[in-house]
Structure 1
């Protein structure tokens, strides 16, 4: 894990060297029909995690705002905030601590919309392992994906008095749950909306039926108190001085939040849109994803996308105190410059409220989703 972490940081350091040259680039070109062409970089492959943006594109919400949005799929080797900083995208979706680490390395980016109000990261183990708290990870084989996905886990271990470099055996986990299912590791990293569902889509050899939640213990960083802000919309800081780009940012957020509101109220249709886009896992899995992601977005008391000062400060504080296996912290100092702003999302929310869109979702109630084997 340490080797891959070092490689990722080295690659990031190399890539962001060009970031400072993007601020003076011309405004986004105009597409066909007078619309403005916009590129959105996702941080992972097409799946329900990004349903709101897919809905905004496929239901015409971006076009209503005069935007022609191209959604760029992410992957293992794609760092969305770097793609943004290099000027290869107009906006990007990235977790806050990862993006802040990139900013400290030189990426000129600003959080303009905190879509996920809550963290969806778990550490999951078989109930028989009796891992009921972060302290119980001591002496265990603990899986994590690296690449900045491990920060909440390390924060939890630090809070429990454990040294991630000495008190546990860290295992580089693949982006699935096979290591846990084979009992190669004792605790595996999982997203509530993805890998956790993969466990419940697998057969229990002892019963021949799908695993039930009772078979597992879940450490939820929201409950533990080491959760960090995740999916946010990031903009190019330098270009935010351009009134045209500012206008595009407001329009992009307006349509995107409308897309998330649509997926809150129409999860099955958004499931279908995601599957149609070419998601790698099937329909029942994608419905689970949309449903679970809705829990991270809604309800939004201050309005979807608003950046909460307290949640931001908690993420920054954890980033400055959480050490990785090599004893290095995520951030060495508090973010400088325009790290985040609510200016553009406030305008977007005002426009949506005037149009009659529910931007708070106070009455949101998640569905009960029935998973099938393999998520088909």
Structure 2
């Protein structure tokens, strides 16, 4: 059973309306950015850009707000406490359908990381074996791509023997070790380790969706000067991300601070090595991958994650300004999203 992402009529609509229409005039060259993800490596590009002074070089004062897993997605954006938010695309599109008109201005990760890791001894060797199994989910919106994947497989999260059961996931792989679930949600750059495990990839069923992107409310995009400011932020951020994945150990040491725990250092560096394969070269959203994401989220009939096709959910104006014309087109080195 999926949990509602936006309880109590989501975020108060009157508050949203006021904030959406207000252009940010008081902080002309200052930006507050809401990060996401439990691990520092998941925000490494922004942290490196801050530490190395790349934002300052672009004439920006940037305040990075740590991820708060307990808060509803986009809460700081809706309250006017952040100008941008990093979020998975399914969460953003559901928020938009529920009345918060967030707009994608850039796609930091061009490839998805979500996986399921399963105990082989439960009989799971592939996605076709998930029927009747219990699956761990982080919820908080991360169940949306999982739900879309299950829809592709014709499975309902109803707790029945013919469907699947979704449980709130414990930290790490404890649910597998204690056999409380057949599968848990994992990330390609932070895999579960151990004997007898099988990793499932939604791309094998054509169910992958885009994840980490940058989102703003329409007021933050008001006018060419606002677009230029956001473009400078994107340019500096992608510079930070490129450095982070090119020098993972140095970057992990930088974001963890002096005298980091050796185990934590190696884990964060390992995650950055994995993120290298997900990263967009410029931050430009590939419209074809966006369309495939929407198609996946719209599949499943009355169980579909999205009820309607989004309108006006992204703009290329910022990423076009951030990159030289020759680099502005999205990469096609990587295979299209499946």
- TM-score strictly above 0.5: yes
Indicate conservation of the 8 Å contact 1:46/1:278, yes or no: no
Corresponding residue of 2:321: 347
- Partners of 2:258 and 2:318 lie apart in 1 by 29
Indicate conservation of the 8 Å contact 2:90/2:145, yes or no: no
**Structure 2 residue corresponding to 1:92, chosen from 85, 88, 100:** 85
- Partners of 1:175 and 1:65 lie apart in 2 by 38
2:152 pairs with 1:159: yes
Q: Secondary structure at the match of 2:71?
A: coil
Indicate conservation of the 8 Å contact 2:41/2:272, yes or no: yes
Corresponding residue of 2:219: 238
Corresponding residue of 1:368: none
Corresponding residue of 1:40: 33
Corresponding residue of 1:260: 241
How far is the alpha carbon of 1:279 from its aligned partner?
9.4
Kindly provide the CA deviation profile for residues 220-255 of structure 1, in whole angstroms up to 9, marking residues without a partner as x.
113332111100011221231233322211111110
**Structure 2 residue corresponding to 1:275, chosen from 226, 239, 256:** 256
- Partners of 1:112 and 1:170 lie apart in 2 by 32
Distance of aligned partners of 1:161 and 1:108 in 2 relative to their CA distance in 1, 3 Å threshold: closer
- Partners of 2:24 and 2:149 lie apart in 1 by 44
Any residues of structure 2 matched to 1:98-113 within 5 Å, and which? 98-113=91-106
- Report the TM-score, using the length of structure 1 for normalisation: 0.80
Unaligned runs of at least 5 residues, structure 1? 31-35, 201-210, 364-376
Distance of aligned partners of 1:328 and 1:158 in 2 relative to their CA distance in 1, 3 Å threshold: closer
- Structure 1 segments, 4+ long, off by >4 Å, are 277-281, 351-354, 359-363
Q: Secondary structure at the match of 1:39?
A: strand
- Partners of 1:39 and 1:352 lie apart in 2 by 30
How far is the alpha carbon of 1:100 from its aligned partner?
0.8
Corresponding residue of 1:75: 68
Distance of aligned partners of 1:278 and 1:127 in 2 relative to their CA distance in 1, 3 Å threshold: farther
**Structure 2 residue corresponding to 1:27, chosen from 15, 25, 28:** 25
- Report the TM-score, using the length of structure 2 for normalisation: 0.88
Unaligned runs of at least 5 residues, structure 2? none
- Partners of 1:249 and 1:115 lie apart in 2 by 14
Distance of aligned partners of 1:93 and 1:319 in 2 relative to their CA distance in 1, 3 Å threshold: same
Corresponding residue of 2:268: 286
Corresponding residue of 2:305: 330
**Structure 2 residue corresponding to 1:149, chosen from 119, 142, 146:** 142
**Structure 2 residue corresponding to 1:129, chosen from 115, 122, 126:** 122
Distance of aligned partners of 1:276 and 1:79 in 2 relative to their CA distance in 1, 3 Å threshold: farther
Indicate conservation of the 8 Å contact 1:122/1:220, yes or no: yes
- Partners of 1:243 and 1:268 lie apart in 2 by 38
Distance of aligned partners of 1:80 and 1:9 in 2 relative to their CA distance in 1, 3 Å threshold: closer
Q: Secondary structure at the match of 1:108?
A: coil
Corresponding residue of 1:179: 175
- Partners of 2:45 and 2:9 lie apart in 1 by 28
- Partners of 2:99 and 2:63 lie apart in 1 by 26
- Partners of 1:294 and 1:129 lie apart in 2 by 32
Q: Secondary structure at the match of 1:184?
A: coil
Aligned-residue CA RMSD (Å): 2.7
